[in-house]
Amino acid sequence: MNIRLRAPGLVGIKVDVIRVARADDLIALQEIEVAAGAPFRDLGMDMIADDDPPTVADLTAFQVDGRAWVSVDERDVPVAYVLAQVVDGEAHVEQVSVHPRYARRGLGRDLLEVVADWGRRQGLAGLTLTTYADVPWNAPYYIRLGFRVLADGELTDGLRRIREEEAARGLDAWPRVVMRRPLTR
């Protein structure tokens, strides 16, 4: 299934297509992840910039199960991607990354909407994610998209486990939050 979207407000930008990721996209997803990490260096978050991308095996699990989508350029080359899973009855964004050359075109927002639609079709009540609290293209961006920060007491067991795994990887060296947006029809 291909979804055609146009980034609003950008004249002369090609129509972007979002489609389910294919096995031959996975190396490109790793390259996107490395490139998307680079801007963290400007914030003094070198560890994040240097973090390894997901392995091909990890990406394959999402791709084979139909839970990985890509936004592609006019040559059908991925320039952004999103991975989703179900966590405690909610659609959870495992990762969303946009290559910096394609930033500020609404690709991340459009990919999140694909996951939201997927979640609605699954009968899930909300869309969750974890992110950095103070990085401009993280929590502040998601707030503009209708997400809210969950208090610790609102975390489900699955979300707590995700946060524990992130902490074990050192990702909580900077403030992180869990966010949620309801999935309404």
The CATH T-level fold of domain 2-182 is Aminopeptidase (3.40.630)
Tell the residue number behind the tokens 């990887």, with chain if given. Answer: 169
Task: Look at residue 9 and tell me whether its pLDDT is greater than 90.
Answer: no
Query: Whole-angstrom Cα distance, residue 114 to residue 83?
Result: 10
Task: Name the residue among 159, 127, 132 with its Cα closest to residue 146.
Answer: 127
Backbone phi, psi, residue 14, to 5°: -65, 155
Q: Are 183 and 91 in contact (CB under 8 A)?
A: yes
pLDDT in tens, 129-172: 999 999 999 999 999 999 999 999 999 999 999 999 999 999 98
Backbone phi, psi, residue 21, to 5°: -65, 145
Neighbours of 156 (CB within 10 A): 17
- Residue ranges of the domains in the chain? 2-182
pTM recorded for the entire structure: 0.89
Check residue 184 and give its pLDDT. 80
pLDDT in tens, 29-74: 999 999 999 999 999 999 999 999 999 999 999 999 999 999 999 9
Backbone phi, psi, residue 109, to 5°: -60, -45
